Structures are given as C-alpha cells and as structure tokens.
Amino acid sequence: MTNNCVIATGAAFGILAIIFGAFGAHALKKVLSTEKLASFEVGVRYQTYSALFLILIGYNANVGLNLIQWAYYLVTFGTIFFSFSIYLLSLAEYLKKNFKFLGPITPLGGLLMILGWGCLLVSVI
C-alpha cells in the first residue's frame, strides 16, 4: 500500500460524503422522517471525519509502518460498516427493504474506527 492509495481512499470518501450530504439535505428531506434524516447525517459526518483522517495520514505518515497500515484498514472498513449501514438503515422504510440485520454492523464499524485512531495514537507515542 502506498501513501497515494491512502489519499485516494480519503478523497473517495470525501467525494461520496459531499454527494450523500447534498442528497440527504435536498432529496431525502422530503421523504425521510426527521429522526431518519438525522441518522443519515451522522453517517455522512463520520464518513467526512474518516476522509480527513485518511488524507492526513496519507500526507503525513509513513504508510510503510505497520501501525499506520492497520489504522488505514481499520478506519476504511470501519467507515464502510458504520456509515454505509446507517445509510441503508435510514433508507430501509423508504426503499421498503428490511435491513435490520445491519443493526449490529453499525457499532462494529464504530469500534473499528476507534481502533484505527488508536493505532495512529500508538504510532506517535
């Protein structure tokens, strides 16, 4: 894995966060309840944090270090599990789909993101 790969992942997360944020603010505002829309926005917010995290380590860290690689993978998969499960759970009623099986995936994603940040912390101590 290279620093460019980390930066590209961060940029992709950032692009998608802006698209999903705009989609939520405009299109979904009319079809989701206030509670579901707020939940969707949490997914966007944490995806944005992850995008910035990945860009930060991509530009400033030695991605060859084992802990930084772990940080990258944990935050990347954590974001996918956390934010994307929230998106689907928020849209379930509108899409008339049962995504309840994703309920346990959301906190797992959050845990992975926490561990990724922890790897960054340990790498600088």
**pTM exceeds cut of 0.85:** yes
CA distances from 100 to 29, 50, 89, 107 (A): 22, 24, 7, 13
Predicted local confidence at residue 76, as pLDDT: 98
Tens digit of each residue's pLDDT (9 = 90 or more) over 77-117:
999 999 999 999 999 999 999 999 999 999 999 999 999 99
Mean pLDDT of 56-71: 91
Q: How many distinct structural domains can be found in the chain?
A: 1
Mean pLDDT of 30-50: 96
Domain containing 19 equals: 3-124
Q: Which one-letter DSSP state was computed for residue 61?
A: S
Q: Which contacts qualify for 12-15: CB closer than 8 Å, 24 or more apart?
A: 13/47, 13/48, 13/50, 13/51, 13/54, 13/79, 14/48, 14/51, 14/52, 14/55
Residue 44 clears pLDDT 90, i.e. is over it: yes
